[in-house]
Amino acid sequence: MILEAPSNNWKDYELIDSGNFEKLERFGSFVLARPEPKALWDRKLSEGEWRKMAHTRFTPGAGFGKAGKEDSGTWNILKPMPENWNISYQGGPVSPSLHFNLRLGLTSFKHVGVFPEQSPNWDFIYSQISRLRGMGTLDGEDTLAAGGDAFASLPPVTRVNRRPKVLNLFAYTGAASVAACAAGADVTHLDSVRQVVTWAHGNMEKSGLDGIRWIVEDALKFVRREARRGNLYDGIMLDPPAYGHGPDGERWKLDECLNDLLKECARILSPMDSFLVLNLYSNGYSAMLADTLTGCAFGSSGRRVSGELLLKDRFGRMLPLSVFTRLVR
């Protein structure tokens, strides 16, 4: 299992401090204090220092922690700041040429439009698409940064200088979609919430890119239809929530639906020269569980690596936030 955190190349994000079930983060020029259930330790900085640094602090609402309202609440503005602002992303060692822009905003569910710990996945996606296009390889230190020795001696791709076809499921505001597009992929971005698809479209435009295919639909329904049609993808990224609903009221529960979704994804992932990224946030899910699920659905072809994505604060404490499995063929 490997542990990955955002690269120091990314200057527009920093986890300043964490603890007492909160985290203090800088996004561009603005510092936000937000609840974080996994920050079980004590903060290093005092309450006064947090208040002095923070532009805004999220206060949980009455329904906070209840199903459907896990992250609901309000933002208390402590210093002048806009409701929306932009940040830039700069890729890490494995993807130094990756660069894109994101619009952030204060939502009523404590989110701001980006999950910073996901940046190693963006780098991995970019590097894999570059490999499939015949523009680069993964070896040496770059290999370690992109998933360890499991990918140290990949076979040469047989199809180069083409636009790999990739699918991003539960795609939210589209950082992974934009990273894939920046690498030269033909991207299909799918989410069941129209507002976040619109947000993702804006992120593509802010990054000077175009051509992403936007779909508002239930993920399992879409993948089953693609399988019936015989459509194949060179890359699939999926980041499913614990609970959710499709645009037509389709019910999604991770424990009940994930295995079926992965088996359907296995039907549409190219058997050669392809990759998969599965990310899971749900409490109680481990990297080993994600790896076993992926192995059962996709079989033994290719190579897998699993681990945790984390944030590291100024004092060296590591805050684990999600688990992942990557498959490369």
d(CA 308, CA 126) in angstroms, rounded, equals 19
Cα dihedral 217, 221, 224, 229 sign: negative
Least confident residue range of 33-42, 54-63, 137-146: 137-146
Q: How confident is the model at residue 286 (pLDDT cuts 50, 70, 90)?
A: very high
CB-count burial class (<10 Å; 0-12, 13-18, 19+) for 204: buried
Q: What percent of the chain has pLDDT over 90?
A: 82
Helix (H) and strand (E) counts in the chain: 8, 17
Give the pTM.
0.91
d(CA 47, CA 82) in angstroms, rounded, equals 24
Per-residue pLDDT averaged across 215-229, rounded? 97
Q: Is the pLDDT of residue 56 over 80?
A: yes
Residue 115 near residue 27 (C-beta atoms within 8 A): no
Confidence (pLDDT) at 159:
52
Confidence (pLDDT) at 140:
35
Confidence (pLDDT) at 143:
43
Confidence (pLDDT) at 292:
97
Q: How confident is the model at residue 139 (pLDDT cuts 50, 70, 90)?
A: very low
Please spell the DSSP secondary structure of 187-230, one letter per residue.
Answer: EEEEES-HHHHHHHHHHHHHTT----EEEES-HHHHHHHHHHHT
d(CA 274, CA 8) in angstroms, rounded, equals 28
Residue 178 sits at the vertex; the CA angle it makes with 85 and 96, to the nearest 5 degrees, is 95
Q: Is the pLDDT of residue 37 over 70?
A: yes
Q: How confident is the model at residue 85 (pLDDT cuts 50, 70, 90)?
A: very high
Domains of the chain by start residue, with CATH? 7-82 (2.60.40.1180), 88-328 (3.40.50.150)
| pLDDT tens string 16-26 | 999 999 999 99
| pLDDT tens string 166-192 | 999 999 999 999 999 999 999 999 999
Confidence (pLDDT) at 137:
47
Q: Comparing 78 with 253, which gets the higher pLDDT? A: 78
